[in-house]
Amino acid sequence: MKTLYLLRHAKSSWNFEELSDHDRPLNNRGRHDAPLIGRELLSRDIELDLIISSSAVRALTTASLVAKELDYETSRMVIDENIYGASKEELYRIIQKTSDAVDSLMLVGHNPDISDLANMLSPEHIVDMPTAAVVSLRFTCLSWKEINQENAALLFYDFPKNHK
């Protein structure tokens, strides 16, 4: 079985007009919400084999803050520049290239494509994912190349406002 966690980056700041979209940091709410979701994942006894994150500052910071809460070494994270601006199909191909030795994978990315991917793979409809939202899907297969909506089960969909 394969378990996938799709995480949308936490809330970013628009206060730095001189920065490119790629380089925007998290705002205060984002710096609060990312660890909150990490703690919620920890309370579910989530253990990740691999985290793959977008190279965008806001996504990478979100991934790092969640990883810290899960006691996951950030040096093990894979930063994939192709996630930033990727379509749901491109994100799907990134997942499919993951080694089958990995059973539990987190992909950290951006809307609308992370929500679109969640809906492409989930047997249940996922509303547009707010910032720092996470969707967990389990697939009854042994290879990431075989994951699809037909062999998927939605384990949970969580986001920070559920905990305020």
Low-confidence ranges of the chain (pLDDT < 50): none
Give this prediction's pTM: 0.97
Q: Is 138 annotated as a binding residue?
A: no
110 is annotated as contributing to ligand binding:
no
What proportion of the chain, given as a percentage, has pLDDT over 90?
93
- Residue 15, marked binder: yes
pLDDT for 162 equals: 87
Are 62 and 9 a contacting pair, CB within 8 Å? yes
Q: Torsion over CA of 30, 33, 39 and 43, rounded to 10 degrees?
A: -140
Query: Per-residue pLDDT tens for 37-63?
Result: 999 999 999 999 999 999 999 999 999
Cα–Cα–Cα angle for 96, 100, 101, rounded to 5 degrees: 145
- Residue 10, marked binder: yes
Q: Does 14 show up as a binding residue in the annotation?
A: yes
**pLDDT at 141 (0 to 100):** 97
The full set of domains in the chain, from first to last, is 2-163 (3.40.50.1240)
Q: Which of 109, 129, 94 is nearest to 22 (CA)?
A: 109
Q: What was the pLDDT predicted at 17?
A: 85
